[in-house]
Amino acid sequence: MDKRLSEKLNNLRQNLTKLDSAVIAFSGGVDSGLLVKVAFDVLGDRCLAVIATSETYTKAELEEAEQFAQKVGVNYLVIATEELKNEEFSSNPVKRCYFCKTELFSKLKSIANDKGFAYLLDGANLDDVLDYRPGRLAGKEIGVRSPLEEACINKKEVRQLAKELGLSNWDKPSLACLSSRIPYGQKITLVNLKQVELAESILKQHNFPQVRVRHHQNIARIEIPKEDFTKLTGPVLDDIVTKLKELGFIYITLDLQGLRSGSMNEVLDNN
């Protein structure tokens, strides 16, 4: 590990030591996974990882998060969030993530208060400051801290540190809830969330591990890395089209810009 990265890891450890105890929002992704690992190494039983499950996340992600927590050895809880019951969330406004994170962090705060933990933490890193993330406002209002950001650790460094520490998820593709596949203003329902989940599972079965299927009502807009475009040939392409149409999509399209995080926010940049 180079000196600069080692110094950032030491800063992270020192900062966590000062917190005494903490509840960590753990999604199963590499960011919060790194935080859980380092916090457990520093705080031991004085940290608790909380995994939230709802209709906006897949069962596979829940299982992977639990397996990771078990491997690390950290104490963890699985809780259910009910953001879909909130019309302010399900109507899918631009501030959708604010209402989702308010639901999550409010429940985490109750857990922390009930169990005597001093702080609430999330896995936001330094790069997240640059993105449109209204959920961060909810975190600040409720008092959530972001130790990776505080230690000036960016996304690339998160992966480097996770690899150095031997974490199994160091190269896991970035996660995003299923509702992020639905354009702002289009209502989020159990039906379209399930369509997205099943559509993406079909792509993954054909060896497309990094994929987003954006749900534009009767149009499925597939985002995969540009280098994977050549895989969409012959029987593979035919099978994907057939199965996505069976899910209820009429038109199956490939986004020629390729996979990119937060592509639904591009409409905001044009307004």
- The reply to whether 172 falls in a domain is no
Residue 124 and residue 185 share a domain: no
For the segment 107-152, what is each residue's pLDDT rounded down to a tens digit?
999 999 999 999 999 999 998 877 667 888 899 999 999 999 999 9
pLDDT at 270: 58
Residue 105 and residue 32 share a domain: yes
pLDDT at 154 over 90: yes
- The reply to whether 12 falls in a domain is yes
Residue 233 and residue 99 share a domain: no
For the segment 204-231, what is each residue's pLDDT rounded down to a tens digit?
999 999 999 999 999 999 999 999 999 9
Q: Locate 27 and state its tokens.
A: 């999604």
Residue 250 and residue 131 share a domain: no
Query: Please, which pLDDT band fits residue 263 given cuts at 50, 70 and 90?
Result: confident
For the segment 59-93, what is each residue's pLDDT rounded down to a tens digit?
889 999 999 999 999 999 999 999 999 999 999 99
Residue 111 and residue 245 share a domain: no
262 or 26: whose pLDDT is higher?
26
pLDDT at 271: 53
Residue 137 and residue 204 share a domain: no
- The reply to whether 169 falls in a domain is no
pLDDT at 266: 77
Residues 6+ away with beta carbon under 8 Å from 71: 168
- The reply to whether 193 falls in a domain is yes
Residues 263, 257: Cα–Cα separation, whole Å: 10
Residues 226, 191: Cα–Cα separation, whole Å: 29
Give the full edge-to-edge strand order of the sheet including 119-121.
Answer: 75-80, 47-53, 22-25, 119-121, 144-145
Residue ranges with strand state E in the chain:
22-25, 47-53, 75-80, 119-121, 144-145, 212-216, 219-223, 251-254
- Whether 233 and 242 have beta carbons less than 8 Å apart is answered as no
- The reply to whether 140 falls in a domain is yes
Residue 191 and residue 249 share a domain: yes
- The reply to whether 132 falls in a domain is yes
Closest CA to 39 of 116, 146, 138, 169: 146
Beta-strand relationship, 119-121 and 144-145 = parallel
**Structural domain harbouring 209:** 178-269
Query: Please, which pLDDT band fits residue 101 given cuts at 50, 70 and 90?
Result: very high
Q: Locate 85 and state its tokens.
A: 């019951």
Domain end among 111, 140, 164: 164
Domain end among 114, 135, 164: 164
Total structural domains within the chain: 2
Give the domain CATH number at 251. 3.30.70
Q: Locate 237 and state its tokens.
A: 């392409």
Out of 19-23, 167-171, 213-217, pick the least confident: 167-171
- pTM of the predicted structure, to 2 decimals: 0.90
Residue 221 and residue 124 share a domain: no
- The reply to whether 62 falls in a domain is yes
pLDDT at 269: 60
Q: How large is the average pLDDT for residues 161-181?
A: 91
Q: What is the mean pLDDT of the chain?
A: 93
Query: Please, which pLDDT band fits residue 202 given cuts at 50, 70 and 90?
Result: very high
Q: How large is the average pLDDT for residues 165-182?
A: 90
Residue 186 and residue 253 share a domain: yes
Place of tokens 């792509």: 203
**Percent of the chain scored above 70 by pLDDT?**
98
Domain end among 138, 164, 190: 164
Terminus-to-terminus CA distance in the chain, angstroms? 44
pLDDT at 132: 65
Q: Locate 22 and state its tokens.
A: 């903490």
Residue ranges with strand state E in 143-238:
144-145, 212-216, 219-223
